[in-house]
Chains A and B, each alone.
Chain A
Amino acid sequence: MTDLAIDVQHVVKRYDQHVAVKGLSLQVPRGTVYGLLGPNGAGKTTTIRMILNIIAPDQGSIRVLGKASNDPTATDRIGYLPEERGLYRKMKVRIVLQFLGELRGMTRPEADRQADYWLERLSLKTPDKDWGESKVDELSRGMQQKVQFIGALLHDPDLVILDEPFSGLDPINAQALKDTVVELRRRGKTVIFSTHLMDNAERLCDSVCIIAHGEKVLDGAVSAVKSAHGKRHIALALSGDVPGGVAAVLSDTTLVTRVDDQNQFLELELARDATPQRLLERLVAAGAPITRFELVQPSLHQIFLQSVGAEGVEEGMSGQG
């Protein structure tokens, strides 16, 4: 049990009109980078808030770093960057960081030392200019985001939770964030981030959990998730004039269930009983000018669309029944 950074068991959270999280369970091993993926409104932020004990679940249990989630010794070991970000506008950056550090159980001198370290590291404190002495509202948006990021990492937490960390970041800050996540992982910390940007998740995460409508759709190590969906995806590139018969082949649902035009090539998803050989035969028979025909691993993006899409369909059916 204690090798789990987070253990969420059958958690339910209801709001006035709807159920935000329906019996969600997920386990995050220590020392991994874990992606919480889902469309907007899937219940990611609600789940994160329950893990942080900001709101209480109606049912189920949550353990964080081996302790109950409302144990303050556990909360002090968590760093949190919320999706909606903001700081006290009129306060000096350094004082804000000291305050945030104190709220996580640090002493003020300790917090001040760490603030110095991070301000220098994220180049907010250079020999020319120390932004730590400026007021928050004198900083640019990008700089404020760096300060918030520092606020989440100041107390060297064992578990870092980042809610949509890449939204609104410019490429340079996004790179700094990625570098830091990789380094935290190397130092044995656990990082959880929620996102709906699959490219980032695919590159950074060891494991993912996809949720939709407050329920888990799938979870597991990224490699496992991909191979489970592997051997079903084909990259197909055609050149020049495409005979009309090709379109008929691609729209045959006994062969191909999904066509995703990636511009340079088409990403095809095979129907359950179809084989790549059968598809290739049909395409050749139709006179398709093939320049590329390759079995590929699906992108997380594909898997996401596939699983969340299927979820949507199921819901529609259950709604009728």
Chain B
Amino acid sequence: MVRAKLWAVIRREYLERVKTRAFILGCVLGPVFIAGVLFVPAWLSLRNLRADRANLIVIDATGAGLGQRLRANLDSASTTPKAPNTIDVRVTAPDGIAAAESLATRAVVAKEFDGYVVLDASTMRGERARYAGRKATAVGEMRRLETALRQTTLAQRLEQATLNPALVDSLTRSRLELQSEPLTEKGRGSDASRQANLMFALAVAFLLYMSMILYGQLVMRGVLEEKSTRVAEVVVSSVSPETLLAGKVIGVGAVGLTQQIIWVIGTVYVGSYVAPILARMAPSTTAATAGTPGAAGLGAMSMPDIHIASLLLILLFFILGYGVYSSLYAAVGASVNSEQEAQQALAPILVLIVASALFIQPVMINPTSTLAAVASMFPFSAPIIMPLRMSLVPIPPWEMAVAIVGLGVAFVVVILLAARIYRVGLLMYGKRPTFRELARWVRQS
């Protein structure tokens, strides 16, 4: 009998929410948004690669043809033949630098060029060159220019030391890159799968964080609606408030799971269309040199090496974490009279969630630190931090046990407290209760 009623409550919560326009829109837009968040940066960095044509004036006062050599170097490093560099090498005498510079400045201001480089005797000595222009703050471009300059200067100096120019060219041109791979007790993983793991961990933490807030709010609004439309009184005359609370939390949780499953499937689906396009856009060599995680991860399109056991653990943390937070939200919904009051009363809960989210970055940077270990075991941050951490590093079994047991205990305690506040608050109208009154409600019922 109680089960049939609980089922009726769950059914209503689920169907009424799944049928809303907001849910359907969310299901459609979610994958588009997630795909956007994942792919747009990758796409942008690929586009930048294509657009990295040099457009500058080289003022060459070395008298050794360093300018010509720099142009040749930049030309050969250019990625796309479609967009050739525009490099204007202006050879000048050392005392003509000032005049050439003012001329170049005017050209840059007139947007004919992005900037100019001054090469002089100190450059030849391997000390410095100067750049002035609109892209002076673009770190990537400056680094490329610097690399080209170093190579060119080195070649020029080797040549002056009477080495064979052809030999110098072939020796100085190198495309060395550093490949890193993680080494753990499980063995070694490839660089690409490490990137994928990182992305996966971040996505999981973000998804858990969002769902605590979003679905918690949904539970709270549902409670508030029942309270403010006064339908609660009819309902609790037929089922116990505990059954109603349980049905609400389970029903909304099922809505959340449904939405996330649709999101994951949708993202993979959209991703399977977008990734090949990106891969085609990016020639393999440049994708490797680009060094952006998105491009590298996508180019290889490698799956994160996640085991079923990890997925089940993540699900467990989601369920327990969602249970803790949504019960808290339900208690808030039952103890206030309006949405405005609710926003104020939510502050302590939001502090808990947002504080957990603040740990995401430090834990990602150093998942083995004491801070990371504590944050992943503390019941209120564990639902977000532990799934993140376990996707990055192996977790000692005792830490995992502490996290799960702690969260489980918190889950039971919070639900019992919330059910009591809910029972009293649901039919209490008027002034918002103080903490002391809430404590009395808990003791009363």
A residues near B (Cβ < 8 Å) are 16, 49, 52-55, 72-73, 75-76, 78, 80-82, 84-91, 95, 99-100, 102-105, 148, 151-152
- Chain B: minimal CB distance from A25 (Å): 22
Task: Give the interface segment out of B232-240, B303-311, B315-323, B357-365.
Answer: B232-240
Q: Is B8 among interface residues, defined by CB-CB distance under 8 A?
A: yes
Q: Please determine whether A86 and B231 come into contact, CB atoms closer than 8 angstroms.
A: yes
Closest B residue to A99 by CB, please name it: B12
The 10 closest A-B CB pairs, nearest first, are A86-B229, A86-B230, A103-B238, A102-B8, A84-B230, A82-B233, A52-B237, A80-B237, A86-B231, A99-B12
B residues near A (Cβ < 8 Å) are 1-2, 4-5, 8-9, 12, 16, 20, 225-226, 228-231, 233-239, 427, 437, 440
Q: Please determine whether B225 and A88 come into contact, CB atoms closer than 8 angstroms.
A: yes
Q: For B440, what are the chain A residues with a Cβ–Cβ distance below 8 Å?
A: 16
**Please, could you name 7 A-B residue pairs with CB atoms under 8 Å apart, sorted by A?**
A78-B237, A87-B229, A88-B231, A100-B234, A105-B1, A105-B5, A148-B234
Q: Please determine whether B16 and A84 come into contact, CB atoms closer than 8 angstroms.
A: no
Which of B2, B8, B233, B238 has the largest number of chain A CB atoms within 10 A? Answer: B238
Closest B residue to A81 by CB, please name it: B234
Q: Please determine whether A72 and B229 come into contact, CB atoms closer than 8 angstroms.
A: no
Q: For B16, what are the chain A residues with a Cβ–Cβ distance below 8 Å?
A: 88, 90-91
Q: Please determine whether A72 and B2 come into contact, CB atoms closer than 8 angstroms.
A: yes
Apart from A72-B2, A86-B231, what are 4 other A-B pairs with CB-CB below 8 Å? Answer: A49-B427, A85-B230, A89-B229, A105-B4
Q: Please determine whether B237 and A87 come into contact, CB atoms closer than 8 angstroms.
A: no
Q: For A99, what are the chain B residues with a Cβ–Cβ distance below 8 Å?
A: 8, 12
Closest B residue to A48 by CB, please name it: B237
> How many angstroms between the C-alpha atoms of A148 and B230 in the bound complex?
11
Q: Please determine whether A82 and B1 come into contact, CB atoms closer than 8 angstroms.
A: no
> How many angstroms between the C-alpha atoms of A100 and B16 in the bound complex?
15
Closest B residue to A16 by CB, please name it: B440
Closest A residue to B2 by CB, please name it: A72
Known: A82-B230, A84-B230, A99-B12. A55 touches B427 (CB 8 A): yes
Q: Please determine whether A103 and B230 come into contact, CB atoms closer than 8 angstroms.
A: no
- Chain A: minimal CB distance from B337 (Å): 13
Q: For A95, what are the chain B residues with a Cβ–Cβ distance below 8 Å?
A: 12
Closest A residue to B12 by CB, please name it: A99
Q: Please determine whether B5 and A103 come into contact, CB atoms closer than 8 angstroms.
A: yes
- Chain A: minimal CB distance from B321 (Å): 28
Q: Please determine whether A75 and B233 come into contact, CB atoms closer than 8 angstroms.
A: no
- Chain A: minimal CB distance from B21 (Å): 11
- Chain B: minimal CB distance from A40 (Å): 15
Q: Please determine whether A54 and B230 come into contact, CB atoms closer than 8 angstroms.
A: no
> How many angstroms between the C-alpha atoms of A197 and B260 in the bound complex?
54
Q: Please determine whether B4 and A54 come into contact, CB atoms closer than 8 angstroms.
A: no
State which of A76, A90, A151 has its C-beta within 8 Å of the C-beta of B234.
Answer: A151
> How many angstroms between the C-alpha atoms of A81 and B236 in the bound complex?
12
Q: For B1, what are the chain A residues with a Cβ–Cβ distance below 8 Å?
A: 72-73, 76, 105
Q: Please determine whether B231 and A103 come into contact, CB atoms closer than 8 angstroms.
A: no
Closest A residue to B229 by CB, please name it: A86
- Chain B: minimal CB distance from A24 (Å): 19
Q: For B238, what are the chain A residues with a Cβ–Cβ distance below 8 Å?
A: 75-76, 100, 103-104
Q: For B230, what are the chain A residues with a Cβ–Cβ distance below 8 Å?
A: 82, 84-86
> How many angstroms between the C-alpha atoms of A84 and B237 in the bound complex?
13
Closest A residue to B426 by CB, please name it: A54
Which of A85, A102, A105 has the largest number of chain B CB atoms within 10 A? Answer: A102
Q: For A16, what are the chain B residues with a Cβ–Cβ distance below 8 Å?
A: 437, 440
State which of A73, A87, A152 has its C-beta within 8 Å of the C-beta of B231.
Answer: A87
Which of A81, A82, A90 has the largest number of chain B CB atoms within 10 A? Answer: A82
Q: Please determine whether B2 and A54 come into contact, CB atoms closer than 8 angstroms.
A: no
Q: For B234, what are the chain A residues with a Cβ–Cβ distance below 8 Å?
A: 80-82, 100, 148, 151-152
- Chain B: minimal CB distance from A6 (Å): 15
> How many angstroms between the C-alpha atoms of A117 and B71 in the bound complex?
89
Closest A residue to B235 by CB, please name it: A103
Q: For B2, what are the chain A residues with a Cβ–Cβ distance below 8 Å?
A: 72
> How many angstroms between the C-alpha atoms of A85 and B5 in the bound complex?
21
Q: Please determine whether A54 and B236 come into contact, CB atoms closer than 8 angstroms.
A: yes
> How many angstroms between the C-alpha atoms of A105 and B437 in the bound complex?
35
Q: Please determine whether B236 and A102 come into contact, CB atoms closer than 8 angstroms.
A: no
- Chain A: minimal CB distance from B218 (Å): 14
Q: For A75, what are the chain B residues with a Cβ–Cβ distance below 8 Å?
A: 237-238
State which of B4, B20, B233, B239 has its C-beta within 8 Å of the C-beta of A84.
Answer: B233
Q: For A88, what are the chain B residues with a Cβ–Cβ distance below 8 Å?
A: 16, 225-226, 229, 231
Closest B residue to A52 by CB, please name it: B237
Q: Please determine whether A54 and B233 come into contact, CB atoms closer than 8 angstroms.
A: yes
- Chain B: minimal CB distance from A136 (Å): 9
> How many angstroms between the C-alpha atoms of A82 and B235 in the bound complex?
10
> How many angstroms between the C-alpha atoms of A129 and B225 in the bound complex?
28
- Chain B: minimal CB distance from A77 (Å): 11
Closest A residue to B233 by CB, please name it: A82
Which of A52, A54, A81, A152 has the largest number of chain B CB atoms within 10 A? Answer: A54
> How many angstroms between the C-alpha atoms of A20 and B321 in the bound complex?
40
> How many angstroms between the C-alpha atoms of A100 and B236 in the bound complex?
11
> How many angstroms between the C-alpha atoms of A99 and B235 in the bound complex?
10
Q: For A55, what are the chain B residues with a Cβ–Cβ distance below 8 Å?
A: 427
Closest B residue to A55 by CB, please name it: B427
Closest A residue to B239 by CB, please name it: A103
> How many angstroms between the C-alpha atoms of A91 and B235 in the bound complex?
15
Which of B16, B233, B234 has the largest number of chain A CB atoms within 10 A? Answer: B234
Q: Please determine whether A102 and B229 come into contact, CB atoms closer than 8 angstroms.
A: no
> How many angstroms between the C-alpha atoms of A152 and B233 in the bound complex?
12
> How many angstroms between the C-alpha atoms of A99 and B9 in the bound complex?
8
Which of A53, A81, A104 has the largest number of chain B CB atoms within 10 A? Answer: A104
> How many angstroms between the C-alpha atoms of A44 and B8 in the bound complex?
30
> How many angstroms between the C-alpha atoms of A88 and B5 in the bound complex?
17
Known: A16-B440, A75-B237, A90-B16. A103 touches B229 (CB 8 A): no
> How many angstroms between the C-alpha atoms of A265 and B344 in the bound complex?
59
- Chain B: minimal CB distance from A139 (Å): 13
> How many angstroms between the C-alpha atoms of A8 and B237 in the bound complex?
18
Known: A102-B8, A103-B5. A54 touches B229 (CB 8 A): no
> How many angstroms between the C-alpha atoms of A72 and B6 in the bound complex?
13
> How many angstroms between the C-alpha atoms of A103 and B237 in the bound complex?
9
> How many angstroms between the C-alpha atoms of A100 and B226 in the bound complex?
13
